């Protein structure tokens, strides 16, 4: 495969047999695809990218006021700001990128990944919080339910099969800043059900995906999002659908780049039972183990250890 297929979210919502078959094929073969007709306007996307860039341009000492260790949610690394070389995705070298993570705003809880984010207000970063939370709600209401319906139908399940596992889902909602010339995210797989990636448009690609036997570039296509399946869905489908390795290499010498990946997980207490088995996998344990692997043991994200 030289390029990723494009799936129509509106056709998935209509349960189009042709689109469901197309979704099955790409999830079985590659686990990476574009979605179009997602219903989210370009204005909020551009506002969020612009507000993110302005945040990352702030002085380092200002951004560090929102760093991991002052966050309230456990684990602290799931929220807030991390500077260049703060995160290690591939298990080998820390990434030359800056990140800010937030989640769905909820009261502070003993549950991991649950609670408020310490985030700059408009006096520090105008529009940063409001645009991200608006965009997050759009993804939560317009993309996630339709894609879950499509995945269920592709698996031969009832259209609402996943609904009970996403009554109160968990998001790791990230904005990433890649500096000009040397921005990078090391090769890895994602851990969740799927990731919704909003790419800033550039004529040259930075995202690369490993499809079976070779790496291919993933160009920006206007008015689309990139979707990639995560390890959790691969496990849930007993390896029928695949979670695919990917990396980012941003080497445009004169341009920085902002991207917004939203990592989608089920309700925090979900117990995953791979289809056709009696095996059980606690979602919360998978998430915590992945954060331990990235931020404490340095083994990288997802199946990064298999990719080095």
Ordered DSSP codes for 127-181 = THHHHHHHHHHHIIIIIHHHHHHHHHHHTTS-TTTTGGG-SS-EEEEEEEEEPTT
| CA distance linking residue 159 with residue 157, whole number of Å | 6
Structure tokens at 159: 């259209």
Please name the residues in contact with 231: beta carbons below 8 A apart, sequence gap of 6 or more: 189, 190, 191, 192, 243, 286, 302, 303
120-129, 227-236, 298-307, range with the lowest pLDDT: 298-307
- State pTM to two decimals: 0.96
223-232 pLDDT tens trace: 999 999 999 9
| Across 5-14, 148-157, 196-205, least confident range | 196-205
Q: What is the DSSP letter of 31?
A: S
User: Mean pLDDT score of the chain, rounded to an integer?
Assistant: 95
Non-local (6+) Cβ contacts of 306 within 8 A are none
The pLDDT of residue 220 is above 90 = yes
For residue 184, the model assigns a pLDDT of: 94
Residue from 175, 183, 189, 201 nearest 262 by CA: 175
Say yes or no to pLDDT of 285 above 90.
yes
Residues 79, 102 contacting (CB under 8 angstroms):
yes
Strands 257-265 and 170-178: antiparallel
Q: What pLDDT band is residue 1 in, cutting at 50, 70 and 90?
A: low
How long is the chain?
308
How do beta strands 32-36 and 6-8 pair?
parallel
| CA distances in angstroms from 87 to 141, 243, 291, 293, listed in the order given | 30, 21, 10, 11
What is the spatial distance between Cα 190 and Cα 33, in angstroms, rounded to a whole number?
Answer: 15
User: In the prediction, which pLDDT does 303 show?
Assistant: 72
């Amino acid at each position: 495969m030289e390029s990723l297929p494009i799936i129509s979210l509106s056709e998935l919502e209509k349960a189009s047999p042709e689109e469901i078959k197309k979704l099955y094929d790409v999830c079985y073969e590659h686990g990476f695809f574009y979605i179009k007709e997602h219903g989210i306007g370009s204005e909020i996307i551009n506002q969020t990218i612009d507000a993110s860039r302005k945040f990352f341009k702030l002085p380092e000492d200002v951004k560090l006021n929102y760093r991991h260790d002052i966050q309230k949610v456990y684990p602290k690394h799931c929220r807030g700001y991390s500077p260049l070389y703060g995160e290690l995705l591939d298990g080998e070298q820390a990434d030359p990128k800056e990140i800010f993570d937030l989640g769905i705003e909820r009261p502070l809880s003993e549950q991991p990944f649950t609670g408020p984010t310490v985030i700059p207000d408009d006096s520090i970063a105008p529009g940063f919080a409001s645009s991200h939370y608006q965009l997050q709600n759009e993804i939560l209401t317009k993309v996630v339910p339709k894609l879950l319906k499509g995945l269920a139908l592709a698996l031969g399940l009832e259209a609402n099969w996943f609904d009970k596992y996403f009554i109160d889902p968990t998001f790791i909602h990230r904005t990433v800043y890649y500096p000009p010339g040397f921005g990078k995210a090391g090769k890895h797989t994602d851990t969740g059900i799927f990731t919704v990636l909003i790419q800033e448009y550039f004529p040259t690609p930075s995202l690369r995906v490993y499809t079976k036997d070779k790496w291919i570039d993933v160009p920006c296509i206007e008015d689309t999002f990139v979707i990639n399946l995560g390890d959790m869905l691969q496990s849930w489908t007993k390896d029928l659908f695949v979670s695919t390795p990917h990396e980012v290499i941003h080497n445009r010498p004169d341009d920085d780049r902002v991207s917004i990946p939203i990592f989608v997980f089920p309700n925090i207490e979900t117990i995953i039972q791979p289809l056709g088995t009696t095996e059980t996998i606690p979602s919360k344990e998978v998430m915590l183990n992945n954060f331990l692997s990235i931020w404490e043991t340095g083994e990288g994200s997802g199946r990064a250890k298999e990719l080095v």
